[in-house]
């Protein structure tokens, strides 16, 4: 065959292949995911890095928010299709007003020895003797992601343990990374951010931990995956496929941990590198310096904890109407993904 014809055919084939690739890319359905930039966003990050969202036909992008409470309006309007973070009083109020936002799966739980929250006190207050015991937090400024966030239920239990009321502290709203900076500057005095923010504050000598979250809340459904109801209704197949990819990411993360919950082996190195690439902190040593909260590889929610949070929000008069958690949780997509993937089996077992 004439060399010019071979070259022409080769270029034509390359052009067709490129066109097919471009068309395949164009067919990817865009999905915006709101994240609080916590280490427990790991399931989404791994699924993205491994290409599992793209395999499901989804073009996923991440948008940082200071807390899930700030994601409510964009989720309700479908400007955000998926949200990740704590189930807040604001979320429940929005749903009570008719906004279609659904809790669809676990994101992370704080359990004994696998919790991401500690009560941090500015080190200067410890060194000066201003805070010697838990009750001494009275009158201090508390940095929180948003009023009525999931951290609010933990601080409520902390205050109960200290014999104090929520009115005994001054709450200030800010993102988790900002809480570290505010502790350092003295803008706030106490905080309960998730890791890695907590560990950074401690290792830098900015703050001291005086209590673990699990000391007052042994099993806390601290964060969930949220779907925009409009998006899920209009794109049920995409909503199912997102869940399947997400669970694969969570399972891969679980397979990267040893029995203590520490990153180990080749998968451990890989997941740490993913967290370093996608997360807000760019030193891999940070992600090896703490034990992540528990991310359920089957996506199961701890319904009792969600109920307890609601009861606390009611006591704090943060809820406009009674909340039926069974009407807020939608297992449709999780049940489909579990049927497709089967129950989690640790790698090698």
Q: What is the value of pTM for the model shown?
A: 0.85
Once rounded to an integer, what is the mean pLDDT over residues 230-259?
Answer: 97
Closest-CA residue to 299 (of 251, 345, 261): 251
What are the tens digits of pLDDT across the range 236-247? Answer: 999 999 999 999
- Other Cβ atoms within 10 Å of 99 Cβ, number: 17
Question: Cα separation of 191 and 301, whole Å?
Answer: 25
The DSSP call for residue 97 is T
Residue ranges and CATH numbers for the domains of the chain are: 28-112+220-341 (3.40.190.10), 118-216 (3.40.190.10)
Return the H-helix or E-strand segment holding 6: helix 3-27
Question: Cα separation of 60 and 51, whole Å?
Answer: 10
Once rounded to an integer, what is the mean pLDDT over residues 185-196?
Answer: 92
| DSSP result, 289-325 | SSPPPB--TT----HHHHHHHHHHHHHTT--SS---H
Question: Phi, psi (5° rounding) for residue 286?
Answer: -60, -45
Between 195 and 201, residue with greater pLDDT:
201
Give the pLDDT band of residue 23 (cuts 50, 70, 90).
very low
pLDDT value of residue 19: 40
Between 194 and 300, residue with greater pLDDT:
300
Give the pLDDT band of residue 339 (cuts 50, 70, 90).
very high
Question: Given a cut of 70, is residue 266 above it in pLDDT?
Answer: yes
Question: Given a cut of 90, is residue 134 above it in pLDDT?
Answer: yes
What does pLDDT average to over the chain? Answer: 90
Between 349 and 273, residue with greater pLDDT:
273
Cβ 146 vs Cβ 69: under 8 Å:
yes
pLDDT value of residue 165: 93
What are the tens digits of pLDDT across the range 69-114? Answer: 889 999 999 999 999 988 999 999 999 999 999 999 999 999 999 9
Once rounded to an integer, what is the mean pLDDT over residues 222-237?
Answer: 97
Question: Cα separation of 241 and 235, whole Å?
Answer: 10
Cβ 213 vs Cβ 118: under 8 Å:
yes
Question: Cα separation of 282 and 273, whole Å?
Answer: 9
Share of the chain above pLDDT 70, in %: 92
pLDDT value of residue 26: 55
Give the pLDDT band of residue 337 (cuts 50, 70, 90).
very high
Give the pLDDT band of residue 349 (cuts 50, 70, 90).
low
Give the pLDDT band of residue 263 (cuts 50, 70, 90).
very high
What are the tens digits of pLDDT across the range 285-330? Answer: 989 988 889 999 999 999 999 999 999 999 999 999 999 999 999 9
Give the pLDDT band of residue 11 (cuts 50, 70, 90).
very low
pLDDT value of residue 348: 67
Beta-strand pair 190-191/58-64: unpaired
The DSSP call for residue 135 is G
CA 241, 242, 243, 246 torsion-angle sign:
positive
Cβ 333 vs Cβ 104: under 8 Å:
yes
Once rounded to an integer, what is the mean pLDDT over residues 190-205?
Answer: 90
Beta-strand pair 170-173/101-111: unpaired
pLDDT value of residue 149: 82
């Amino acid at each position: 065959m004439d060399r010019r014809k071979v070259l022409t055919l080769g270029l034509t084939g390359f052009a067709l292949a490129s066109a097919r690739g471009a068309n395949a890319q164009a067919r990817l359905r865009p999905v915006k995911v709101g994240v609080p930039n916590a280490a427990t966003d790991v399931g989404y990050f791994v699924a993205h890095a491994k290409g599992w969202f793209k395999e499901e036909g989804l073009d996923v992008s991440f948008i940082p928010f200071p807390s899930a409470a700030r994601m409510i309006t964009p989720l309700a309007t479908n400007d955000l299709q998926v949200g990740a973070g704590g189930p807040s009083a604001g979320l429940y109020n929005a749903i009570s007003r008719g906004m279609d936002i659904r809790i669809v799966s676990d994101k992370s739980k704080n359990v004994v020895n696998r919790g991401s929250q500690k009560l941090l006190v500015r080190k200067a207050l410890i060194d000066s003797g201003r805070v010697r015991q838990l009750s001494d937090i009275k009158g201090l400024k508390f940095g929180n992601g948003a009023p009525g966030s999931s951290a609010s239920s933990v601080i409520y239990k902390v205050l109960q343990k200290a014999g104090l009321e929520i009115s005994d502290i001054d709450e200030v709203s800010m993102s988790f990374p900002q809480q570290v900076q505010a502790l350092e500057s003295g803008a706030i005095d106490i905080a309960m951010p998730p890791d890695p923010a907590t560990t950074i504050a401690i290792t830098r000598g900015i703050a001291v931990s005086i209590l673990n979250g699990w000391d007052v809340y042994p099993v806390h459904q601290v964060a969930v995956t949220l779907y925009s109801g409009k998006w899920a209704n209009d794109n049920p197949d995409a909503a199912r496929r997102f869940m399947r990819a997400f669970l694969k990411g969570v399972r891969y993360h679980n397979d990267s941990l040893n029995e203590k919950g520490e990153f180990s082996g080749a998968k451990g190195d890989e997941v740490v590198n993913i967290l370093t690439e996608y997360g807000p902190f760019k030193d891999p040593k940070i992600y090896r310096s703490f034990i992540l909260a528990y991310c359920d590889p089957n996506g199961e929610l701890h319904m009792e904890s969600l109920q307890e949070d609601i009861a606390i929000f009611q006591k704090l008069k943060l809820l406009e109407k009674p909340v039926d958690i069974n009407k807020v949780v939608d297992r449709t997509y999780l049940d489909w993904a579990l049927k497709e993937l089967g129950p989690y089996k640790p790698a090698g077992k």
